[in-house]
Structure 1
Amino acid sequence: MAQTPRPTHPLSRQSEGLQNEGIAEAWAFTAEHRQRTTFFFDFDGVLSPVTDDPDASQPVPSVLGVLEKLATVVQRVAIVSARPVSFLRSRFSSLEGVDLYGLYGLEVWHEGEVVTEPAALPWVPAMAELAERAKTELPGDVLVEYKRLSVALHYRTAPQRAGEVERWGHEQAEAKGLRIQAGRMVVELKPPVDQDKGMVITEGVRDAGCAWYFGDDMSDIKAFDALRAREAVDPSFFGVAVAVANPETGAEVSSAADLTLDSPGAVAQFLAEGLERF
């Protein structure tokens, strides 16, 4: 059997017909190289709708079965999220063979074990203290999410607080030597440790022949960039960057992607349809 040719990249979004043709080629290439293919997914906004209460977020019902099937036909499936591994495990405990990267890769669940980046551990007390200060100093309608190795300040239910939250976050980051990660109506403070989604993907595709990344927010653009960087040094590698639409940061994320899907439900459907090609 002749090997499936490498698709022209990036996938064209100039017209529906060209887009569909490019998607078909990408799936054909993926099926041909399934044993060296990895699928990476963000959680919030990709596998789950974004909710006012982060603790209430759940994957869309159809996605669990799709991921389980996907994990049996490709080399690797991984979820790369700003959520802690403990949260991700509570949502995906039924899945076997799916790796979990929490807190932008500061935590990793692989083969039944959690591994935490050693350089981040000394910052746990400082992040706990910061979370308590945020609850005291910021208005009560700002939701403070403590994640052990980061603190997220959500203003989704109080958009008028955006400027106040951003100022407070940047002041704390400067005073304590922390890093800021902006997102969809959230400001997150993290330890000054070199770790982000782009670095996770760079390492994760080192030995891959094909990789897909599904993301919806600013932190996911670094993951898209990692796919591009791998293609630049290895012309035989094929990466597909998929954005999921959102009303806050969607335009910038979509402009960095090869194609855009409408919602987490559309992601599950897209995968299910793609799996029919295997």
Structure 2
Amino acid sequence: MAETPRPTHPATADHAWARTVEHASRTTFFFDFDGVLSPVTKDPSASQPVAEVPAVLERLAARVGRVAIVSARPVDFLRSRFAGLEHVDLFGLYGLEVLHEGEVVTKPAALEFERPMAELAAEAQDALAKPVFVEYKRLSVALHYRECPERAAEVEQWAHERAERAGLAIQRGRMVVELKPPVDQDKGMVITEALRDAGCAWYFGDDMSDIKAFDALRAREAVDPGFFGMAIAVANDETGAEVSSAADLTLASPAAVAAFLTEGLTRF
């Protein structure tokens, strides 16, 4: 049987699915959570995956080599949203945490920041009045200004001052600025490491941090002619243009992601 022609970029969905089916056992699907598997909510603690998502991820995991969620959320949060999934890997806090054999494993270099982040979260609660939402993630603190976009400059300035004072890193996102440990870790690095034995991979993202994951797919293709990567953006009015310009295909919403995967599974 002749091998399916290798798609060029931008690849069509049909070509990408054909490539995936042919190399299913060596294919990995990666997904961001917020804005991809779940609609973005004003209260980040209220986010839930689209109703169809858990079942479709489990079905997908039975067809391909690996399925993983790579998120800025802590692993414990992701585990609470996908408690019934047995075959989906969880990478939290941009890869600072990973769920491995039922245990959360943390990058050792980040552990010393656990107490400082708790203190920083308390300081932010006192300094930034609601409706700024302070999200404490154990190893990072995210400051959400979705309900008060007019305060973006104030929140950004506060975050930068604290980051400079404490030697922390800054990560921007959709109506949020996050303070993180100065540990060299991002979604692109997660993907690079996870792709070592893969022949094909998809990444679904909606925010600026996801572009590094797209770049990791392209970098692997550049050095391995037998590898194929598919970068999928999920549309939004905040970072959608930048993310879509770096992707092969754009889907309209998290619900559209679930529908796209459901349709794709019929090809196996």
Given the two structures, how large is their TM-score scaled by the length of structure 2? 0.99
- Dislocated runs of 4+, deviation >2 Å: none
| Residues in 1 aligned to 2:117 and 2:69: alpha-carbon distance in whole angstroms | 24
1:212 to 188, 191, 202: 202
Q: Which residue of 2 aligns with 1:273?
A: 263
Q: How many residues align?
A: 268
Q: Deviations over 1:21-58 (max 9, x none)?
A: x2111100000000100000000000000000011100
- Answering whether residue 124 of structure 2 is matched by residue 137 of structure 1, we say no
| Residues in 2 aligned to 1:61 and 1:164: alpha-carbon distance in whole angstroms | 36
- Answering whether residue 8 of structure 2 is matched by residue 29 of structure 1, we say no
Structure 1 unaligned runs (5+)?
A: 12-21
Q: Which residue of 1 aligns with 2:6?
A: 6
Deviation at 1:65, TM superposition (A): 1.0
Q: Which residue of 2 aligns with 1:146?
A: 136
Deviation at 1:230, TM superposition (A): 0.3
| Residues in 1 aligned to 2:131 and 2:81: alpha-carbon distance in whole angstroms | 26
Secondary structure at the counterpart of residue 109 of structure 1: strand
- Answering whether residue 211 of structure 2 is matched by residue 201 of structure 1, we say no
| Residues in 1 aligned to 2:10 and 2:249: alpha-carbon distance in whole angstroms | 9
Q: Is the 8 A contact 1:202 1:227 kept in 2?
A: yes
| Residues in 1 aligned to 2:58 and 2:51: alpha-carbon distance in whole angstroms | 12
1:228 to 211, 218, 225: 218
Q: Which residue of 2 aligns with 1:79?
A: 69
Note the 1:109-124 alignment, pairs <5 A: 109-124=99-114
Deviation at 1:177, TM superposition (A): 0.6
Q: Is the 8 A contact 1:97 1:111 kept in 2?
A: no
Q: Which residue of 1 aligns with 2:35?
A: 45
Q: Which amino acid aligns with 2:39?
A: P
Q: Deviations over 1:144-172 (max 9, x none)?
A: 00000000000000111100000011111
Q: Which amino acid aligns with 1:128?
A: A
Q: After superposing the two structures, state which structure 1 stretch, 107-116 or 205-214, moved more.
A: 107-116
Deviation at 1:141, TM superposition (A): 1.7
Deviation at 1:190, TM superposition (A): 0.1
Q: Which amino acid aligns with 1:137?
A: A
| Residues in 2 aligned to 1:30 and 1:111: alpha-carbon distance in whole angstroms | 27
Deviation at 1:3, TM superposition (A): 1.8
Deviation at 1:64, TM superposition (A): 1.1
- Answering whether residue 49 of structure 2 is matched by residue 59 of structure 1, we say yes
Q: Which residue of 1 aligns with 2:179?
A: 189
| Residues in 2 aligned to 1:100 and 1:187: alpha-carbon distance in whole angstroms | 22
| Residues in 2 aligned to 1:49 and 1:140: alpha-carbon distance in whole angstroms | 22
Structure 2 unaligned runs (5+)?
A: none
Deviation at 1:2, TM superposition (A): 1.7
| Residues in 2 aligned to 1:85 and 1:141: alpha-carbon distance in whole angstroms | 26
- Answering whether residue 155 of structure 2 is matched by residue 169 of structure 1, we say no
Given the two structures, how large is their TM-score scaled by the length of structure 1? 0.95
Secondary structure at the counterpart of residue 187 of structure 1: strand
Q: Which residue of 2 aligns with 1:19?
A: none
Q: Is the 8 A contact 1:107 1:115 kept in 2?
A: yes
Deviation at 1:86, TM superposition (A): 0.4
| Residues in 1 aligned to 2:7 and 2:130: alpha-carbon distance in whole angstroms | 51
Q: Which amino acid aligns with 2:139?
A: L
Q: Which amino acid aligns with 1:168?
A: W
Deviation at 1:10, TM superposition (A): 2.6
| Residues in 2 aligned to 1:76 and 1:130: alpha-carbon distance in whole angstroms | 36
| Residues in 2 aligned to 1:74 and 1:270: alpha-carbon distance in whole angstroms | 16
| Residues in 2 aligned to 1:233 and 1:110: alpha-carbon distance in whole angstroms | 29
